[in-house]
Chain A
Amino acid sequence: MLFSKKKKNKSSTFLQSIKPSRKNNFHTHSSSQQVTEYSGKVLDKKKKQVGVFSYSCDEGCSIYLTEIFNTKLIGWLEKMDLIYFLSIKDHHEVKHYDIAIVEGVITNKKDKLELEKLRAKTDILIAMGTCTITGVPSAQRNDFNEEQMAQIQDHLDKFDYLPKVLTVPEVVKVDAEVMGCPISEKKFIEIFEKYL
Chain B
Amino acid sequence: MHTHDLDISIDKISKIEGHADLDIKIRDGEVKEVNLRVMENQRFYTQAVQGKSIMAVPQLVSRICGTCSIAHLTGCIEAAEKAIGVTPSAQTILLRKLTMYSLMIRDHALHLYFFVLPDLFGIDSVLDLPEDKKEILHEALHVKEAGNNLSKLIAGRAVHAPFEQIGGFVNLPDPEETKKVVAELKSVRQYVMNLAEMFLSCNWDFKRQTNFVALATPDFSFLEGEILTSSGKRIQEKDFWEHLQSVVIPYSKASGFEFEGKEYMVGALARINLNKDNLHKNTKRDMARFLELFPSDNVCHNNLAQAIEIVHSIDHSIEILENTEFKKEEIAKPSRMSGEAVGVIEAPRGTLYYWLKVKDGNVEYANLVIPTAQNLVNMREDIKLMVSKLIDQGEETIRKEAEKLIRAYDPCMSCASHFLKINWL
Contact = CB atoms under 8 A, between A and B. Distances in A.
Contact of A13 (B41, B60, B115, B127): B127
B158 interface: yes
B48 A137 contact: yes
Interface string A141-182: 100100010011001000101000000000000000000011
A95 interface: no
A67 B144 contact: yes
A38 B144 CA distance: 31
A89 interface: yes
B148 to A, nearest CB: 5
Contacts of A71: 141, 145
Interface stretch (B63-71, B236-244, B261-269): B63-71
Contacts of B18: 59
A70 B143 CA distance: 9
Interface string A110-130: 010000000000000000000
A151 B422 contact: yes
Interface in B13-48: 14-15, 17-18, 40-45, 47-48
Contacts of A144: 44, 47-48
A191 B114 CA distance: 25
A144 B45 CA distance: 11
B160 interface: yes
Interface of A: 8, 10-15, 17-18, 56-64, 66-67, 69-71, 73-74, 77, 82, 86-91, 107-108, 111, 137-138, 140-141, 144, 148, 151-152, 155, 159, 161, 181-182
B148 A86 contact: no
Contacts of A14: 126-129, 134, 137
B14 A90 contact: yes
B128 A10 contact: yes
Given A61-B159, A88-B126, A151-B47, 4 more contacts: A13-B127, A70-B141, A90-B125, A137-B48
Contacts of A60: 63, 65-67, 69, 159-160
B128 A67 contact: no
B82 interface: no
Q: Specify which of B42, B115, B137 lies most central, judged by the most chain A CB atoms within 10 Å of its CB.
A: B42
B67 A56 contact: no
B47 A88 contact: no
